[in-house]
A and B are shown apart, each in its own frame.
Chain A
């Protein structure tokens, strides 16, 4: 199978290339030339970029099929231009056994859609009591180990987990949240939570946990990726850790660079997220930190929730927002706000997450996997339940019109989505 994409504006963030040109895919890989193509796609007026890589997308399988299924969420991924995604282990049961991971991988592969990279549980049942069989889980396909949104309260356990992972070079992906300080909280501990009478999670729940984590990275040399940073203080700690040369990377969710606690309005449960939306100052620091490279990646933190889960009083509402189909438009909006070029903007959802994952995709270099997205950066997208392919219709951006529409998604040289 030979594919020839012509006349597009080809942007390869990894090399910084940005210009009109041709892209060839031969036998599933990017190729310098195409010869006689089986199919020619005219990309005039469109951007041709590496397929997006999302470091956190919940597919809800196994266990939460009533919220979403692999089928529905893989459709959403492709409609959003996402060709690779990492899924956190907070399924039911959690991804703590090789058999479960294997099953998920097989199911995903059978659909021949986006590439799925399972993130295994760091501790059995995510309970923070015993280590999982990381070696066997790695053999089954896990790319990293994580606690998802369940903080590891026991620092002795955290230390041992990082030591063990470091021994074998397994990456550990963790959110920085002190279990005790965050206990019972549902919103950023500040003026808004005070006004609304919502139990708060202070910013230092993040900075204290992050300082602990960084100290343990110093002690163990573990490769740690910090997930979903939420505070200005957290950005500052990451900046210093990187200056020091610690082996750490981090990401931020699409909502946290655009929204803040003011957006809770009158208890809008779509803004019930983990970590909580913090103050404007925090949001601005996250947005700038992502622009200056302190934060490496932007992720959708895709969390489909059924309607019943959101039709609840704010504190009881299930946290999370659907995000796969908003990743591109919200990345573009963020890039514009920070006056970044398209290549620099797209790097946060292509080459940078590829580096964190340690995969060869995320670039258009010859020999790289033929994962490509064609999109119109100016075309409007209306965010509405009927336009979202994801089974989760839960997003604070419902009713918004954003810019950036995916026209075609290609995985391993196969056109898997066209609009």
Chain B
């Protein structure tokens, strides 16, 4: 069927849109990580700008509220000298009944080059990518439970920064896998780059059906799951899911799956601890761990800007 062609690649197999890490070849992932490496220097300079996207318009199209991700995209675009327009759609046209594609068509008429899209519905960026003009690019900034590819890429960048070689690692992802686009994107990235063991740890209620098919080992016991891990990725537990059919309480979640120093002790001594933010201290992670020597949570944020610069400069160049 015509829709089956990987919609993120152009005829030459280059990155046209970034919609999901799934289906991207290893070479493209490495190209993004290597390019990001070159931008880390820029972000540390006194004049933090390169002219790669001068004259280009980047539209931050956020159908779901977000401060952090939107801000990092904005900073990344500005450091590439692009013009950034922020649109918070939840409070404007969607409430007036304008359809998603009408919104995009209108913005497209305003000469957009890159759309950064966040939407509460899985697959929305794919729909947009199918309807934009050939010179326009779509970058998925998180769609429903499906994907958050730039977060996945910055996680990969962070892991490579500290661990160098993907092919000898054991990585554990802990918590609410069911609702997590971060987990899905990271799992695809890790398996594509040759990580031999990816684990997911959580109660049955927070693991999606058939998750093993993504190439992961499932653990329900956190100590067993963390044993000898090189990388521990904690996921955010949304407030509304802390009590109800999925979990009895935040306290009980912390008891079983919160990352405390004693649980972390079963991982490798040089293990790194990651979190996509924002953290719930005392729910999924203890403060002593979040602020401790294993934590690389703040460097993740810094790398996130370089990774988003890399993605934007690569798609705009293709």
Contacts and interface: CB of A to CB of B under 8 A. Distances in A.
Interface of A: 189-191, 193-200, 202, 263, 265-269, 308, 311-316, 396, 399
A35 B2 CA distance: 54
Interface stretch (B118-126, B163-171, B274-282): B118-126
A93 B123 CA distance: 32
B100 A194 contact: no
B91 interface: no
A348 to B, nearest CB: 26
Interface in B83-128: 99-101, 119, 121-124, 126-127
Contacts of B99: 308, 311-312
Contacts of B119: 313
Interface stretch (B33-41, B203-211, B256-264, B310-318): B203-211
Interface in B149-199: 181, 184
4 nearest CB pairs, A to B: A197-B146, A267-B123, A197-B145, A313-B121
B209 A200 contact: yes
B181 A311 contact: no
B213 interface: yes
A191 B101 contact: no
B211 A196 contact: no
B214 interface: yes
23 contacts: A190-B209, A191-B209, A194-B208, A194-B210, A194-B213, A195-B213, A195-B214, A197-B122, A197-B181, A198-B122, A198-B123, A198-B144, A200-B208, A266-B7, A267-B122, A267-B123, A268-B1, A311-B127, A312-B100, A313-B119, A313-B123, A315-B122, A396-B1
Contacts of A269: 127
B127 A267 contact: yes
B209 A193 contact: yes
Contacts of B208: 193-194, 200
A263 B1 contact: yes
Nearest to B4: A265
B22 A195 contact: yes
Given A197-B144, A198-B122, A266-B3, 15 more contacts: A194-B211, A196-B122, A196-B146, A198-B146, A200-B208, A200-B209, A266-B6, A267-B123, A267-B126, A311-B100, A312-B127, A313-B119, A313-B121, A313-B123, A316-B121
Contacts of B213: 191, 194-195
B15 interface: no
Q: Which of B101, B144, B214 has the most CB of A within 10 A?
A: B144
B4 A314 contact: no
A315 B145 CA distance: 12
A316 B100 CA distance: 11
B177 to A, nearest CB: 9
A196 B2 CA distance: 18
B209 A197 contact: no
Contacts of B284: none
B222 to A, nearest CB: 21
A314 B101 CA distance: 13
A78 to B, nearest CB: 29
A191 B122 contact: no
B143 interface: yes
Interface residues of B, number: 30
Given A312-B127, A316-B121, A194 B209 contact: yes
A196 B185 CA distance: 11
Given A190-B210, A313-B122, A197 B127 contact: no
A408 B80 CA distance: 65
Contacts of B267: none
B215 to A, nearest CB: 11
B147 interface: yes
Contacts of A316: 121
A326 to B, nearest CB: 15
A266 B22 contact: no
B209 A202 contact: yes
Contact of A268 (B3, B121, B184): B3
A200 B146 CA distance: 13
A323 to B, nearest CB: 18
Interface in B212-253: 213-214
Contacts of A190: 209-210
B209 A265 contact: no
A313 B118 CA distance: 12
A90 to B, nearest CB: 23
A175 B220 CA distance: 36
A266 B4 contact: yes
Contacts of A313: 100, 119, 121-124, 127, 143-144
A195 B184 contact: yes
A194 B213 CA distance: 9
B94 to A, nearest CB: 11
A218 B139 CA distance: 56
Contacts of A199: 145
Nearest to A202: B209
Contacts of B209: 189-191, 193-194, 200, 202
Most buried by B among A194, A200, A202, A265: A194
User: Considering residues A189, A268, A313, which has the most beta carbons from chain B within 10 angstroms of its beta carbon?
Assistant: A313
Q: Choose among B6, B121, B181 the residue with the greatest number of A CB atoms under 10 Å from its CB.
A: B121
Nearest to B8: A266
A311 B130 CA distance: 10
Residue from the set A191, A195, A269, A396 with the largest chain B CB neighbour count within 10 Å:
A195
Contacts of B1: 263, 265, 268, 396, 399
Contacts of A266: 3-4, 6-7, 123, 126
A193 B207 CA distance: 12
A199 B121 CA distance: 10
B242 to A, nearest CB: 19
A189 B211 CA distance: 11
A199 B144 CA distance: 10
Nearest to A396: B1
Contacts of B184: 195, 197
A146 to B, nearest CB: 30
A197 B7 contact: no
Contacts of A191: 209-210, 213-214
B95 to A, nearest CB: 15
B210 A314 contact: no
Most B-side CB within 10 Å, residue of A198, A267, A269: A267
A322 B121 CA distance: 24
Contact of B123 (A194, A202, A311, A314): A314
A196 B123 contact: yes
A264 to B, nearest CB: 9
A168 B306 CA distance: 73
